[in-house]
Amino acid sequence: MSQTVKEVAITIKRKMNNLPRVSTECCIYRVPDKLRRAIISIGPFHHDKKELQLTEEIKLRYLTGFLHRSKADLPACTRMISELEDRIRQCYQEKLTQGSYELVEMILVDAVFLVELFIRNYNWNHGPDGRDLKDEIFSKQWMSDAVFHDLLLLENQVPLFVLENLYNLTALSTTITFFKLSYEYFKDVQHGHELASTGVHVNHLVDYVRALQLPMFLRRAPSKQGKKTGRVKELQEAGITFKRGKETSVLDVIFKDGTLKMPHVVVHEWTEVYLRNMIAYEQCHHEHKYISSYAILMDSLIGTPDDVDILISAGILEHQLCSADGVARIASIINGIHKETLRDSSEFYYSSLCESLNAYSRSRWHQCKAAWYRWRVILNRDYFSNPWSGISVVAAMVLLILASVQTAYSILQFYAGDGQRLFPARK
């Protein structure tokens, strides 16, 4: 065993032995502002931030739990990370300043925390027997939500091969793949489809979550210039109907026979973070910018809360935001996300869809339908907004009709029996 591996193992063991006891009387907590600020650091980018040090003790407790279920001891786990050090360093864009000792210790603690987190999540969700009611994360909903939020951050990642290698040291790995374990944790992110572990290359957890959302049938980039489409309300006025689609990927948006089918989307408190980090990752790494294209499409469709209301009524959108103005917030989130995307039309995968929507809504017949729809809205708003105003309008119309009939009757009476006055003969 090398001297570095031995020293790292001894250091971690000493920290584990010096952990303070968890008080059963604890009931007053310090929590992040609005539960939106990062509370946990994963990987080297934010490791030294003082405000994130409170969760380091939790990581070490999780390491203790992992070693109890692992087929390897702490020195063996440390040796594994040490042997992967060069490959780990190559995964980060910046040159890491941590030395071998510090990096190996940090990656081991952080990676083991993630593996143990996923295992405990699996046990927690599969019956009360697997639940530890004293768990410092899963027993507190705010903490569980905050950690989930932080694992969607692109800068908060470790290479997936490290997680898989550590997971393979547990007995659970013989019955459940790491991809399956990860899916159990992230499956509520827009209800993505489960990913088979064979033949799929994933770099880290953000990359994994993105892969869950990829359309079932990958689209090719359009060869002609991409276009935006009208707002939801404008399309509805032109006769286009909106319907909730049954596809598992939110990216599978289909327009056919005047109906735009869009899969169900739940907007959570972490949705904005999720979209921003997916888009950032695509801009930095991926040739195919599916999430970015989806963000541009949604920004094109949604401009006001009225557009959001229509999609909610159609069962396409659902919000679980802790806010009274949730509909307005959804519109604000969607309109802000697209600013992070590249506007290169060759990367917009919904170009043909937008062209079809535009062609359908701009035909003469559908333009007339849109005009009639707007007039009907004006009538309902200005004249039929309540029963009394509606009765007044109807009464006025009846009076107008009666007056017209009376006038016509008077004219006919005046000219009765004298056709010459009614129809004078031409000279």
Distance of alpha carbon 56 from alpha carbon 108, whole angstroms: 12
Choose the final residue of a domain: 182, 202, 222.
182
Q: What is the pLDDT of residues 357-398, one digit of tens each?
A: 988 877 655 555 545 455 555 555 555 556 666 676 667 777
SS (H, E, C) 326-364: HHHHHHHHHHHHHHHCCCCHHHCCCHHHHHHHHHHHCCH
Residue 312: which pLDDT band, with cuts at 50, 70 and 90? very high
- Same domain, residue pair 11 and 149: yes
Taking alpha carbons only, the member of 365, 394, 100, 124 closest to residue 238 is 365
Question: pLDDT per residue over 2-14, tens digit each?
Answer: 777 888 888 888 8
Alpha helices in 92-221 (DSSP H): 100-124, 141-150, 160-167, 178-186, 205-213
User: Same structural domain for residues 10 and 154?
Assistant: yes
Select from 147, 166, 165 the least CA-distant residue to 156: 147
- In terms of domains, do 397 and 340 share one? no
- Among 147, 182, 217, the domain-final residue is 182
Q: Best-predicted range by mean pLDDT among 176-190, 379-393, 398-412?
A: 176-190
Quick check: is 21 in a domain?
yes
Report how many domains make up the chain.
3
Give residue 33's pLDDT.
43
Residue 336 lies in a domain: yes
105 lies in some domain = yes
Please identify which residue in the block is written with the tokens 């990370």: 81
Cα atoms found within 13 Å of the Cα of residue 112, Cβ hemisphere only: 31
What percentage of residues in the chain have a pLDDT greater than 70? 78
pLDDT at 103: 95
Task: State the amino acid at position 293 in one-letter form.
Answer: S
Give pLDDT, residue 111.
97
222: Cα within 13 Å, side-chain hemisphere: 18
Radius of gyration of the CA atoms of the chain, in A: 32
pLDDT at 363: 64
pLDDT of residue 67: 94
- Asked whether residue 175 falls in the same domain as residue 31, the answer is yes
CA-wise closest residue to 252 among 295, 217, 293: 217
Closest CA to 130 of 94, 161, 172: 172
For residue 407, pLDDT over 90 is answered with no
Among 42, 50, 30, 65, which residue's Cα sits nearest to residue 143? 30
Same domain, 166 and 20: yes
pLDDT at 112: 97
241 membership: H or E segment, kind and range: strand 241-245
Whether residue 27 is predicted with pLDDT greater than 50 in this model: the reply is no
241 and 119: one domain?
no
Dihedral sign for Cα 199, 204, 208, 210, please.
negative
260 lies in a domain?
A: yes
- How confident is the model over 332-352, as pLDDT tens digits? 888 888 665 555 545 788 888
Average pLDDT over all residues of the chain: 81
| pLDDT band, very low/low/confident/very high, at 313 (cuts 50, 70, 90) | very high
313 shares a domain with 408: no
Q: Confidence band (pLDDT; 50, 70, 90) for 416?
A: low
Query: Where in the sequence is the domain holding 409, given as residue range(s)?
Result: 388-422
Which pLDDT tens digit goes with each residue over 149-159?
Answer: 999 988 899 99
d(CA 178, CA 287): 26
Question: 356 with 400, same domain?
Answer: no
Tell me: do 53 and 177 sit in the same domain.
yes
Helix (H, G, I), strand (E, B) or coil at 191: coil
Residues 255 and 310 in one domain: yes
The per-residue pLDDT for range 99-134, each reduced to its tens digit, is 999 999 999 999 999 999 999 999 988 877 767 878
**Amino acid 317: pLDDT:** 93
**Axis crossing angle, helix 100-124 with helix 74-83, rounded to the nearest 10:** 120
Q: Is 145 found in the same domain as 53?
A: yes
Q: Are residues 163 and 53 in the same domain?
A: yes
pLDDT at position 30 is: 43
d(CA 331, CA 321): 12
Quick check: is 212 in a domain?
no
> What is the percent of the chain where pLDDT is above 90?
33
Residue 226 maps to a domain? no
193: in domain: no
Closest CA to 384 of 396, 374, 375, 392: 392
pLDDT bin (cut points 50, 70, 90) of residue 64 is very high
Q: Tally Cβ neighbours within 10 Å of residue 280.
A: 18
Output the CA angle 172-176-179, nearest 5 degrees.
Answer: 120
pLDDT 10s digits, 196-220: 655 678 899 999 999 888 876 565 5
218: in domain:
no
